Structure 1
Amino acid sequence: MPARFRAEQVGSLLRPAELLQARAAHGESKISLEELRAKEDHAIRQALEKQRRVGIDILSDGEMRRGSWATGMAEAVEGFVAQRVELEWKGPGGGREGSTLLAAGAKLKKTCKLTAHELPFLKKHAPGAFKVTVPAPSNFVLASYKAGVTDRFYPTHGDFLCDLADIIRDEIQWLVSEGVTYIQLDAPYYSHYLDPTQRERMRQTGRNPDAEFENGIEGDNSCFRGIPRTNLILALHVCRGNNRSRWYTEGGYDVIAEKLFGRSDVDTFLLEYDTQRAGGFEPLRLVPRGKSVVLGLITTKEPNLESQDELRRRIDEAARFIPIENLALSPQCGFASVAAGNLLSEDDQWRKLELVVETARRVWD
């Protein structure tokens, strides 16, 4: 299937300083929730207008209302506790640090929609087609299943994944009923199954990374069952971690490509491809006919601006393995998967999005 949108983005944008200050003030009870919402509204209006001017084909609210890419889960679902699984971050300021996702310490119970305070404003103010991002259930199996805590309520990963998938399926059903036509599942934790070090750690503890990955895909696919697919794009984003310009996994897609591309019940894959950490384009030969790939060639982790000629060369290289009409272009991830954002400026961010648009127009128009 030819890509519907050529100049793409992953979702999150850098929060303006004024919004970060307001969020901190609200956390200290210095301003009301209504005052914070007003600051968020203003930031989203500005972000939508800038995206329109730049020419990005598919808009987002920049995830301005979120503390991180997945905080809506803990805010909308009872059962998460203030404990975290630790990750080994790499890059600037790397080291061991807790995941942005909380551990589950009780049976999960959804109390409200994850995106209930995002969608109405976006529907009213977006000047064009937009996407809504939600976390894939499979993330939480790796990031929120804490031994000695979660297993008291969910004896197996499968039990946990089943409840998680029900929660996200309910969210997707609601989004579709509200007229949303582009829904993106974010699955950064898929990259644990392609990282040689992470795979070996799993094996050393008696786990089978290939079987776990297959179960994760099946759990994520179950979110789409019963969803009407007419005029709906379902997308899957895979990266290697994106927190203050750091990452936590490395490795090409080769070891997971057959299952990732062959079994995921989505229309579009948004794939990190900005550094050698992501490997080559050869795995794209396994993408089934009728599906599209958004190449995340432009980094959000550094301010340097890529060469358009080099981007076009890499797109041509990828087109050796998948028809070019099934390709599109984006940054490798969001610019602010956590509210503090990556280590670049807003000007850097908009220049990179301009580069996405300019390159896409030259390649596909």
Structure 2
Amino acid sequence: MADTYKFRIDHHGSLIRPAEVLNARARHAAGELDDAGLRAVEDEAISESARQQRKLRMSVVTDGEFRREDFRGAVLDTVGGFRRTGGTDKYGRAQWVADGEVKAGGPLIADGYDGVKAMAGTAAPKAGLPSPAFLAATCFDREISGAAYKSPVELGEALARIIRDEIELLISRGIRLVQLNNFRYASYLFSRGGQPLTLDEAIAVDSIAVDLTAKPEDVRIGLCPTHQVTGTVDRDAATRLFAGLPVDRWVLPYDKGAEGEADLLRAVPADRDAALGIVDPATAELEDVETIMQRMDAAAELKDIENIAVSPSAGFADTAGRAAISADDQRRKLIHVETIARMCWGNEL
């Protein structure tokens, strides 16, 4: 399952929303713009963003998550059985709870990818989704969700079937790289505990979503378990996770030079590839090229360089309107990633 198709210049998917998109969403929320008007603004912005990504010679192109408040919106905005609680989590994201049986009334995000595919050129259209285990861990409340699901595992299994159907639909419509995100895996990787699912339960739930019966050879599924190393890596947990969950690509932080970054990469099985986050999307300053290349040399000693990709270490705007840097700085960071890729692999990308 190594990265034979070389999606080597990667990014997480979420990009800084243009002002016109943020304004349109505010007007829509206020009842001043109808659904069709909002969709038209989003369509134009996504097509232009995809065109710019192609110009930057990225090997993947996404919709920037322009239609969504944050990465969870692919499910929370489209699947019945969820509601906002009115609160926010420690990251400032709106809190949601499952308050009934989860049901998808149709495609989640697949219908919105025409602009991406039209402008992608030779790059691979890429889509991002929240993992079902992540949603189950963050949206299950025993008192509220218990009428429909006895445990977060049951909720996660129901969500996994919905997300698996969406992945299959995305693939059928030309998406070649799908990235799931479950940042709750950091608790297991760094021995923090306190999760409603055990590691084995989380792996089992997410496996339902990604273990497809058939998948084209040129399609890859990846998963990001954490944006940063926050402690000593539990190597047993890393080995169990990276070997046990049947994804093709592990999307890992690699921008701080921390010992734990190498430990995570070391745990990736030989038959999976790794996308290494070599630049920090939250700081405008460009990382030193020589330092990055030294880290890439170290990575090549741990894993075949042919099965490595490079990326920013996180999305540029995981929540709409809350980017830490400017759109110009975002472009410079993506160019930096592309430059490093050319230095590592030449023009045979």
- TM-score, normalised with respect to structure 2: 0.90
Identify if the C-alpha distance between structure 1 residues 150 and 240 changes in structure 2 by more than 3 Å, giving closer, same or farther. Answer: farther
Equivalent residue, structure 2, for 1:112: 106
Displacement, 1:193?
2.1
Residues 274 and 298, structure 1, Cα contact 8 Å, conserved in 2:
yes
Does residue 295 of structure 1 match 2:276?
yes
Identity over aligned pairs, percent = 31
Equivalent residue, structure 1, for 2:246: 265
Equivalent residue, structure 2, for 1:309: 290
Matches within 5 A, 1:1-365: 1-2=2-3, 4-83=6-85, 87-89=89-91, 97=92, 99-100=93-94, 102-128=96-122, 129-196=124-191, 198-199=192-193, 201-202=194-195, 212-231=198-217, 232-240=219-227, 250-255=230-235, 256-275=237-256, 279-365=260-346
**What amino acid sits opposite 2:97 in the alignment?**
A
Residues 134 and 183, structure 1, Cα contact 8 Å, conserved in 2:
yes
CA distance in 2, matches of 1:123, 1:135: 21
**What amino acid sits opposite 2:112 in the alignment?**
E
Displacement, 1:332?
0.6
Residues 240 and 250, structure 1, Cα contact 8 Å, conserved in 2:
no
Identify if the C-alpha distance between structure 1 residues 166 and 159 changes in structure 2 by more than 3 Å, giving closer, same or farther. Answer: same
Give the match's secondary structure for 2:201.
helix
Identify if the C-alpha distance between structure 1 residues 347 and 252 changes in structure 2 by more than 3 Å, giving closer, same or farther. Answer: farther
What are the Cα deviations for residues 46-85 of structure 1, in whole angstroms up to 9, with x where unaligned?
A: 2112111111111111111111111121222111022278
**What amino acid sits opposite 1:280 in the alignment?**
E
CA distance in 2, matches of 1:253, 1:117: 39
**What amino acid sits opposite 1:213 in the alignment?**
L
Displacement, 1:351?
0.2
Unmatched 5+ stretches in structure 1: 90-96, 242-248
CA distance in 1, matches of 2:139, 2:35: 28
Runs of 4+ aligned structure 1 residues displaced above 6 Å come to: none
Equivalent residue, structure 2, for 1:94: none
Identify if the C-alpha distance between structure 1 residues 16 and 341 changes in structure 2 by more than 3 Å, giving closer, same or farther. Answer: same
Identify if the C-alpha distance between structure 1 residues 298 and 12 changes in structure 2 by more than 3 Å, giving closer, same or farther. Answer: same
Residues 184 and 234, structure 1, Cα contact 8 Å, conserved in 2:
yes
CA distance in 1, matches of 2:259, 2:41: 37
CA distance in 2, matches of 1:253, 1:190: 12
Greater mean alpha carbon deviation, residues 146-155 or residues 51-60: 146-155
Displacement, 1:2?
4.6
CA distance in 2, matches of 1:337, 1:156: 28
Residues 142 and 150, structure 2, Cα contact 8 Å, conserved in 1:
no
CA distance in 2, matches of 1:314, 1:334: 21
Displacement, 1:124?
3.0
Equivalent residue, structure 2, for 1:246: none
Residues 6 and 364, structure 1, Cα contact 8 Å, conserved in 2:
no
CA distance in 1, matches of 2:168, 2:47: 26
Aligned length: 341
CA distance in 2, matches of 1:195, 1:253: 5
Give the match's secondary structure for 1:342.
coil
Residues 272 and 278, structure 1, Cα contact 8 Å, conserved in 2:
no
Unmatched 5+ stretches in structure 2: none
CA distance in 1, matches of 2:277, 2:343: 17
Displacement, 1:279?
2.4
Greater mean alpha carbon deviation, residues 331-340 or residues 276-285: 276-285
Coordinate RMSD, CA, aligned: 2.2
Identify if the C-alpha distance between structure 1 residues 268 and 225 changes in structure 2 by more than 3 Å, giving closer, same or farther. Answer: closer
Residues 250 and 277, structure 1, Cα contact 8 Å, conserved in 2:
no
Residues 164 and 212, structure 2, Cα contact 8 Å, conserved in 1:
no
**What amino acid sits opposite 1:239 in the alignment?**
T
